[in-house]
């Protein structure tokens, strides 16, 4: 027995077995009533048409073109990065070695972040006891003057500017510049662990000085550093960690940009 | 048609730009029929393009690039629909008529035959998607079933119910006119 459902799928040429199709064709030839029924069905289905596509905005078309351009640029940039890495170390022929290479190439950037953390730590605790601070205008590190000896009016603004500049530079480096010198794997790992130890020390100092925001930021660095010290990271995991570091850097940048307007940090 | 890729290599950036220029309207329209949300449809098309670009090495040259992207766009549209409107997706598998469709259908009825546009309001989400993909896009039933994570029988049922409801609605609408 041929029903309307079978005729519908006969019209679509889909969803019926060869046997069913043969049966329908046979009955359409021999049964005029069924043939009329099918003709009516077919006519109604053919009227169900889409006249035209919905209009698409120029903005969307532009957005689509740009998305392809961006995807292409991203690929090119990744390919360039891969080429540069191979030039530095052509024998790196396993995935694990490449991941380690990727990690090590960023160690200098990470070290810069942590040194920055130490600088911030020194800067934010001028209110407690005399201590050293980092002066970006001095090549290297140490100035033995205390903040009590030099007025904040003289130091805070250039210091903040120096820190902000350093943060931005570090962030740019994290965005993919791999021209930094590459320490070897073991040394790099030790460096990371040492940095994490120093970071913990300054975090505790921050807590003792009730600089809770700074302590929080420094605390956030530690698990990332410890994780990065692991050699078994995939590229995705590492990228996620780097993204996390970027976030923390942004937090610190925001904090620094607001600091001059706050009580004791204002000039 | 320029969207047909020439040569033996994977589709190039230019092929994609050409396809966008010529077929963006079609992809958007298709995604709009599925999502009934202009923003979702736009996002679906963009997601599909990026996905197609990423997977362009898998493109088969006996196919058309724009058709291939259409299929990816349908998939993206359904994924976004499931993600952003799970409540509508629940309706999809049920027999309940999707009353939220009215607003969209009224606004976009012009893109379909007027009677069909109005008649589509009578369909559930599941029926509408089955109908759009089968009748307007000529997908195979099995492909629709795979896309909707259901079986062939349910898909056939969806398509058939949709056509029956649409036939009745359109007859009624035309007799009134």
- Domain of B120, CATH number, reads 1.10.10.10
pLDDT of residue B145: 93
Cα B74 from Cα B70, distance rounded (Å): 6
Q: Does residue B77 surpass a pLDDT of 80?
A: yes
Condensed to tens digits (0 to 9), the pLDDT of residues B105-138 reads 444 444 455 567 677 777 888 898 999 999 988 8
Condensed to tens digits (0 to 9), the pLDDT of residues B18-73 reads 999 999 999 998 898 888 888 889 999 999 999 999 999 888 877 789 999 999 99
The domain boundary residue, chosen from B60, B84, B108:
B84
Residue A243 and residue A126 share a domain: yes
Of B84 and A70, more confident: A70
Q: Which letter, b or e, does each residue of A9-33 get, where b requires 16 or more Cβ atoms within 10 Å of its Cβ?
A: bbebebbbeeeeeebbeeebeeeee
Residue B89 forms part of a structural domain: no
pLDDT of residue B8: 54
Residue B52 and residue B106 share a domain: no
Torsion angle of the four alpha carbons B93, B96, B97, B101, in this order, in degrees rounded to the nearest 10: -60
The domain boundary residue, chosen from B54, B84, B114:
B84
pLDDT of residue B88: 60
Determine whether the interchain pair B46/A12 forms a contact, defined as Cβ–Cβ distance below 8 Å: no
Task: Name the minimum distance, in Å, from the CA of A33 to any CA of chain B.
Answer: 19
Domain containing residue B146: 97-177
Is B167 an interface residue toward A (CB < 8 Å)?
Answer: yes
**Which strand (E) or helix (H) includes residue B147?**
helix B141-147
Tell me which residues of chain A, numbers 21 to 60, contact chain B at a CB-CB cutoff of 8 Å.
Answer: 41, 44-45, 47-56, 60
Contact A166, A136 (CB under 8 A): yes
Residue B2 forms part of a structural domain: no
CB-CB neighbors (< 8 A) of B29 in chain A: 50, 53-54, 56
Distance between the two ends of chain A, CA-based, in angstroms?
A: 94
Count structural domains, chain A.
Answer: 2
Residue A212 forms part of a structural domain: yes
Contact B20, A64 (CB under 8 A): yes
Count structural domains, chain B.
Answer: 2
Residue A136 and residue A233 share a domain: yes
Residue B64 and residue B109 share a domain: no
Is B160 an interface residue toward A (CB < 8 Å)?
Answer: yes
Task: Name the minimum distance, in Å, from the CA of A182 to any CA of chain B.
Answer: 31
Determine whether the interchain pair B113/A47 forms a contact, defined as Cβ–Cβ distance below 8 Å: yes
Residue A102 and residue A232 share a domain: yes
Tell me which residues of chain B, numbers 45 to 84, contact chain A at a CB-CB cutoff of 8 Å.
Answer: 45-46, 49-50, 53-54
Cα A126 from Cα A139, distance rounded (Å): 21
CB-closest option in B21, B54, B141 to A14: B141
Domain containing residue A246: 98-265
Residue B90 forms part of a structural domain: no
Is A9 an interface residue toward B (CB < 8 Å)?
Answer: yes
Please tell me the total number of residues recorded for chain B in this structure: 177
Determine whether the interchain pair B116/A65 forms a contact, defined as Cβ–Cβ distance below 8 Å: no
Contact B20, B49 (CB under 8 A): yes
List chain A pLDDT tens, one digit each, 267 residues.
889 999 999 999 999 999 999 999 999 999 999 999 999 999 999 888 766 666 788 889 999 999 999 888 888 877 776 666 655 555 445 555 555 555 655 665 666 566 666 666 555 554 444 443 444 443 433 333 333 334 333 444 454 555 556 556 555 555 544 443 333 444 555 556 666 666 676 666 667 766 667 667 767 666 676 666 665 666 677 677 777 767 776 776 676 666 544 434 333
pLDDT of residue A243: 72
Which residue of chain A comes nearest to B28, CA vs CA? A56
CB-closest option in A44, A47, A52 to B111: A52
Residue B123 and residue B67 share a domain: no
Residue B83, helix vs strand vs coil: helix
pLDDT band at B154; cut points 50, 70, 90 = very high
């Amino acid at each position: 027995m041929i029903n309307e459902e079978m005729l519908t799928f006969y019209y679509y040429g889909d969803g019926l077995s060869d046997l069913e199709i043969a049966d329908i064709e046979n009955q359409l030839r021999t049964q005029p009533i069924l043939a009329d029924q099918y003709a009516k069905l077919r006519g109604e289905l053919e009227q169900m048409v889409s006249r035209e596509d919905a209009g698409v905005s120029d903005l969307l078309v532009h957005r689509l073109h740009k998305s392809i351009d961006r995807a292409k640029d991203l690929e090119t940039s990744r390919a360039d990065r891969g080429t540069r890495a191979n030039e530095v170390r052509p024998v790196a022929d396993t995935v694990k070695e490449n991941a380690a290479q990727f990690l090590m190439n960023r160690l200098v950037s990470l070290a810069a972040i942590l040194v920055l953390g130490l600088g911030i730590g020194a800067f934010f605790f001028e209110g407690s006891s005399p201590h050293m601070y980092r002066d970006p205008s001095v090549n290297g590190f140490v100035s033995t003057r205390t903040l009590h000896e030099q007025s904040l009016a003289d130091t805070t603004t250039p210091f903040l500017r120096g820190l902000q500049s350093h943060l931005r530079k570090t962030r740019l480096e994290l965005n993919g510049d791999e021209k930094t010198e590459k320490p070897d794997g073991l040394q790099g790992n030790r460096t990371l662990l040492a940095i994490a130890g120093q970071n913990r020390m300054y975090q505790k100092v921050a807590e003792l000085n009730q600089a809770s925001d700074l302590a929080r930021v420094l605390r956030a660095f530690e698990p990332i550093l410890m994780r990065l010290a692991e050699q078994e990271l995939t590229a995705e995991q590492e990228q996620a960690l780097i993204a996390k570091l970027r976030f923390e850097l942004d937090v610190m940048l925001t904090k620094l940009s607001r600091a001059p307007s706050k009580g004791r940090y204002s000039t | 048609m320029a969207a047909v890729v020439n040569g033996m290599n994977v589709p190039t950036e230019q092929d994609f730009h050409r396809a966008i220029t010529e077929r963006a309207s079609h992809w958007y329209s298709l995604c709009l029929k599925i999502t009934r949300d202009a923003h979702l449809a736009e996002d679906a098309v963009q997601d599909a393009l990026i996905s197609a670009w990423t997977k362009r090495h898998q493109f088969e040259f006996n196919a058309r690039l724009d058709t291939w992207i259409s299929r990816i766009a349908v998939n993206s549209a359904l994924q976004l629909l499931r993600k952003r409107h799970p409540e509508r997706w629940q309706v999809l598998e049920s027999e309940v008529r999707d009353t939220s469709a009215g607003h969209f259908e009224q606004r976009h009825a012009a893109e379909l035959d007027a009677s069909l546009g109005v008649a589509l309001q009578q369909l559930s989400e599941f029926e509408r998607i089955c109908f759009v993909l089968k009748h307007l896009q000529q997908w195979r039933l099995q492909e629709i079933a795979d896309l909707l994570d259901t079986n062939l029988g349910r898909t056939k049922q969806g398509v058939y119910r949709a056509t029956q409801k649409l036939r009745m609605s359109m007859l009624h609408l035309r007799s009134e006119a």
